[in-house]
Structure 1
């Protein structure tokens, strides 16, 4: 058990002949008691500081552990977001490719339809040109005859055709 200031104060020494000066010993013991009390008080303060520091260290260790866990969770969340973004991008690309294929197929279908229509219009234009040529030739033939004023439409079937349309 450690020595206390009270133990030092109450310490009694035996007396002998030609011993130490009692007042000097008492003064020295009083000084030792003061110094010892100061050391004990400082030691208690240091122990309190150590406890305080230990509590703070524990607190910061807990914060560090929490931050580490938070960083891990955030990293996992970031990885998940990145993976989801990749999947979504792939879906968007596939959808865009489907739309592009549909647009191309629609365009090809429309192009074929327009080509057919153009061919039909060319045929109609050719027929129209042939009829118009026939009409113009008939008119030129009529103009080249001398009796064009007295013509009977019944004698010229091509005129009958032109008058019907």
Structure 2
């Protein structure tokens, strides 16, 4: 059962002889409600951060795909230029081979740039994965601490209640 800050603030208890001080109970419930609200705001902020990081990872994946397609296109272009150069006459062939070699160097240079870009994106993606995992670990730890605190609060409450009987 989830308890909201509003539930804590609206909670009422039956009064008995030698029971708890209603003002003290109300004050404590208000403090707990404020803490729960703060934790909910923090969790919401962390969830938004995770969504932003996921969007960034998706964007990098799209860029990687575009870079791979560019590399394939450059390689196909280089092969087409070589094939056309072979079909021309001797003098034209020599000129075309020079031109093709230049274009090949350019394509290879571009391919290296693209490959470096892909490696950089992969490293960044790996870093983002590590960051997201760390964030998830922190969130899990925060939730575990919150659950432990709630259990301890409940035990203290039950202990005080038993002592008051």
Q: TM-score, normalised by structure 1?
A: 0.48
| Larger Cα-atom Rg | 1
Q: TM-score, normalised by structure 2?
A: 0.48
